[in-house]
Amino acid sequence: MKLPQAGFIPRDREWQPDALTPPYKTSLKRSPQSALLSFPSTVSEETGPVFGHDILGPLDNDLIHNYAAEGASAIGPRIIVHGKVLDELRRPVPNALIEVWQANAGGRYRHKNEGYLAALDPNFGGCGRMITREDGSYSFRTVQPGPYPWPNGMNDWRPAHIHFSVFGQSFAQRLITQMYFEGDPHIALCPIVGTLKSPEAVSALTALLDMNATVPMDARAYRFDIVLRGRRQTYFENRPEGT
């Protein structure tokens, strides 16, 4: 597809799911009850505070080891997740801070309010961060998270997924999404995924197995590109109206 080289690309509001989707029970309380109001951001919100590149440590993008005891590592299938952050013209977005968090290989989060009684991995913290390179690329190492039950219906399970937070030039510029894994049978059964309006929207949130980026005898790889806006933008949970 030939992309325009300049000009405004309008948001495709039909691409995003409706706020009220009863099969996803949380939406009954979270969906707007009144007409929406627009509150433009202030200059201070758009310009600061700004994160520093020196805040990242050498293991921040290695979730296999960044919480582990010396000589130990997280338990589970090792994977590499990589991709690019792009704008609506498929141009790279460099120097963007990405934060990720996830459940462990057994499907349990390290959180005091976690209700799933799967085992905790003492060597897995479940979070990491990285900054996109000049070509918009990013990568991190982790273990593949497991699916887990959640109290939406009698027997609903979340597909295995990783949460992503993408920051702009200040902490007020933040977008949140999540990534699923190609071939997971729980994707089609998930009420949250069911809010999406087309197979293409589901595909935009599904990372593809990338055997060319695997490390033999060590880790498989998945590719997940994030498109910030435009007609084919990645669905962002906190900005359903678009970026």
174 flagged as catalytic: no
53 flagged as catalytic: no
166-191 as b/e, with b when 16 or more CB fall inside 10 Å? bbbebeebebebbbbbeebebbeebb
82 flagged as catalytic: no
Catalytic residue among 163, 186, 223, 232: 163
Catalytic residue among 82, 141, 158, 229: 158
Does residue 155 sit in helix, strand or coil?
A: coil
Write out the two tokens for 66.
């960044």
Strand extents, DSSP E, the chain: 78-86, 97-102, 127-131, 137-143, 148-150, 156-158, 161-167, 174-181, 206-209, 220-223, 226-227
Catalytic residue among 67, 148, 180, 235: 148
Amino acid at 91: R
Catalytic residue among 109, 138, 180, 235: 109
223 flagged as catalytic: no
140 Cα distance to chain centroid: 13
Question: Residues with Cβ < 8 Å from 201, sequence gap 6 or more?
Answer: 15, 17, 235
Does residue 149 sit in helix, strand or coil?
A: strand
Longest dimension (CA), the chain: 56
Phi, psi of 165 (to 5 degrees): -120, 125
What gap in Å lies between CA 150 and CA 164, rounded to an integer? 20
Q: What is the DSSP string of 23-45?
A: TSTTHHHHS-SS-----PPPHHH
235 flagged as catalytic: no
Task: Point out the residues that are catalytic.
Answer: 109, 148, 158, 161, 163
